[in-house]
Amino acid sequence: MNWGKKILIVYLVFVVGIIFLVYLSSIQKTDLVTPDYYKKELVFQNTIDERKRVNELSGKISYSQVDTLLIIILPNEMINTFVQADITLYCPSDKEKDIHFVTSASNGKLTIPITKKTKGYFEIHVHWTANNLAYYDEVKLFFK
């Protein structure tokens, strides 16, 4: 085999490889975190202020999973206070697994049912209001 045929074979393998990579990238699923990201970016200072309020509380929020329940325990200031919460379980790898809850409590504990499909890595975004003040916290958890 002469060197001209070898160059042709290398070139064809390269072209087929590039076409294969283009095909793989075209079938890759790409979900946006949120479709209205620009609008959310404009009000991001509110989220910064809400996180600052959480840091000023006496303790951190704790999260625990008991069977099919996710229990969010708020700091001591939230006990005996009516809390309205907006909770999102965000799965970065699959938009179909995202779960959104609106709940309330007055004992400092928020309880959320989770299903068997809630397995894997999730970011939990907790927005809540108490005494006309807004708070925000997020944590990354792995559900088994």
Selection from 87, 110, 115 nearest residue 100 by Cα: 87
pTM recorded for the entire structure: 0.71
Which pLDDT does position 59 carry in this prediction? 82
Which pLDDT does position 107 carry in this prediction? 84
86 and 63: one domain?
Answer: yes
50 and 116: one domain?
Answer: yes
Cβ proximity of 101 and 143 under 8 Å:
no
81 and 10: one domain?
Answer: no
Q: Which residues contact 15 (CB under 8 A, 6 or more apart)?
A: none
Q: Which DSSP helix (H) or strand (E) runs through 10?
A: helix 3-27
Q: What is the CATH number of the domain that holds 80?
A: 2.60.40.10
Q: Per-residue pLDDT tens, the chain, 144 aa: give them.
A: 788 889 999 999 999 999 999 999 888 876 666 677 777 777 778 888 888 888 888 888 888 888 788 888 888 888 888 888 899 888 887 778 888 888 888 888 888 888 766 778 888 898 988 888 888 988 888 877
23 and 62: one domain?
Answer: no
Which pLDDT does position 32 carry in this prediction? 64
49 and 74: one domain?
Answer: yes
105 and 120: one domain?
Answer: yes
108 and 51: one domain?
Answer: yes
Q: Bridge-partner residues for 46, per DSSP?
A: none
91 and 118: one domain?
Answer: yes
**Cα gap 35→97, rounded to integer Å:** 16
**Tally of domains within the chain:** 2
26 and 53: one domain?
Answer: no
Cβ proximity of 78 and 130 under 8 Å:
yes
46 and 23: one domain?
Answer: no
**Cα gap 108→73, rounded to integer Å:** 6
42 and 11: one domain?
Answer: no
18 and 72: one domain?
Answer: no
User: Which range marks the domain in which residue 131 is found?
Assistant: 37-143
